[in-house]
Amino acid sequence: SGFASHVLAFVNAWQSERDQMETNEIFVDEALMQQLTAAIGYSELSWYALKLGCLMARADANSLSLLRAGGVGATLETLRADWPDESASRVEVALALMQNVAYSNEGVTTILHAGGVGVVLGVMKEHAHAVAVQKNGLGVLWNLCDSDEHWAAFLSEGPSMAAVLLATMRHHPDDRRIEELVVDMLWDISSTGEGQAHILSAGGVPPILHVM
């Protein structure tokens, strides 16, 4: 289709900038965003649509337009789906999109209210050895900390969150960036007694002492 060609052409033009994942282009086209959101759910277009959404969401106006089009919900549904060709690269770019969206208050609220914390933890657990998935997942969680609302979501996932964070550090012992992000997240959830209890129950003290 014409839209598929548009997605492929745009993404291919940005392949050399894949690590940067940002663009100064502003489209703010509601019709395009609706099509983009729909394309996220199609296996043959999902990665490309997620990639395009990730790039566009670096601009605040695009991020807001994507939110209004239901982009976060579509991305979370994609992450929840058990596709036969489950790919860490698709999960990686989906998390990158959510990380970019979570730079805004509205994005954070949307992710939290849609159950995004549990979804992020789930794919981090499933792709425990994929470095990019772990870093992007941690990036989403860290951006959510900007909202006071994050406490309820984090604590409701407390045991799972502590376990996933510690497993991430265990699987990637030589990655300093992952280590820093995990320690930052553990510091955040340890600000409450309940969070401290979850960390202790997950055996968090020895690995934390090890990296000090």
> 28-84: per-residue pLDDT in tens?
567 777 777 887 887 777 888 888 888 888 888 888 889 999 999 999 999 988 665
Any idea which residue has 């003290």 for tokens?
Answer: 205
Task: Read off the pLDDT band of 171 (50, 70, 90).
Answer: very high
3-class state of residue 80 by DSSP = helix
The pTM of this model reads 0.84
Domains of the chain: total? 2
Residues 84-97: tens digit of each pLDDT: 556 788 899 999 99
Do residues 64 and 45 both lie within one domain?
Answer: yes
Do residues 138 and 193 both lie within one domain?
Answer: no
Question: Quick one: which H or E segment has residue 23?
Answer: none
How far apart CA 1 and CA 203 sit, in angstroms, is: 52
Residues 6+ apart with CB under 8 A from 90: 46, 47, 50, 78
Do residues 130 and 159 both lie within one domain?
Answer: no
Do residues 159 and 138 both lie within one domain?
Answer: no
Q: In angstroms, what CA-CA distances link 163 with 12, 133, 136, 149, 156?
A: 38, 16, 17, 22, 13
Structure tokens at 98: 């959510």
Residues 6+ apart with CB under 8 A from 146: 102, 105, 108
Q: Which domain holds residue 64?
A: 2-144
Do residues 44 and 85 both lie within one domain?
Answer: yes
Do residues 97 and 62 both lie within one domain?
Answer: yes
